[in-house]
Amino acid sequence: MSRKYVTPKNLSPRAVKEMRQSLGMTQKEMAEFLRVSKPTVERWEMGDKDITGPVTLLNQILMLHPELSDELVLPPKELPLRIYYYYKDTVCTVIDVDEMKRVVRIRNYARNLMFRAFGINESPSFEEYEEFMESRCFPRTRDKMKIMLDSLGIPFYDPILIIEKTKGRMAEDDFWLEIER
């Protein structure tokens, strides 16, 4: 027996605007949240036709669980270095770092501990951050390390420089990093 779902087939322009307003978002913020252009949100809200597609289901989910949009908010960047820890194409943890002051702050977006950069640890120390970064690189003691560094165009072993070149990708691993300075 196949399942049937109580999901909306379409969404009125008024419902789109009500959803945006209930979430406390501007049209620009809503566009960024949905990964569409601002003119698309404007067209949805001002149009005379109902909207169809995935946004209708998203509307229903957000109306049932409005807190989900808050859980996805990216904190303001207050430290010099921001690192995104991904599983495939999904951000799991955002790591903000000031290496000079040895300060680390994280925000987890994954509920499953296996997908978090530091697992259960919500407040990693600077040493734990350094250990994590090195774990996403080839070992310092690797045979012919200088050849590997030369092939990457890096003059010395530095996990940040290595990760900027390799994205911290490991063999047969779907986790990777993106660095924003």
pLDDT, residue 171, reads: 85
% of the chain with per-residue pLDDT over 90: 85
| Residue 52 and residue 126 in one domain | no
Structural domain that includes position 25: 13-71
Average the pLDDT over 12-41 and give the result.
94
Last residue of a domain, one of 49, 71, 93: 71
pLDDT of residue 170: 87
Both 25 and 85 in one domain: the answer is no
Domain count, the chain: 2
Mean of pLDDT over the chain? 94
Residue closest to 94 by CA, chosen among 8, 10, 3, 178: 178
| Residue 20: band (very low, low, confident or very high) from pLDDT cuts 50, 70, 90 | very high
134 and 165 part of one domain: yes
* pLDDT of the residue at 63: 87
Do 43 and 86 reside in the same domain of the chain? no
pTM: 0.87
Nearby residues of 115 by Cβ (< 8 Å), 6 or more positions away: 87, 92
Residue 6 has pLDDT above 90, yes or no: no
Clarify whether residues 63 and 117 are in a common domain: no
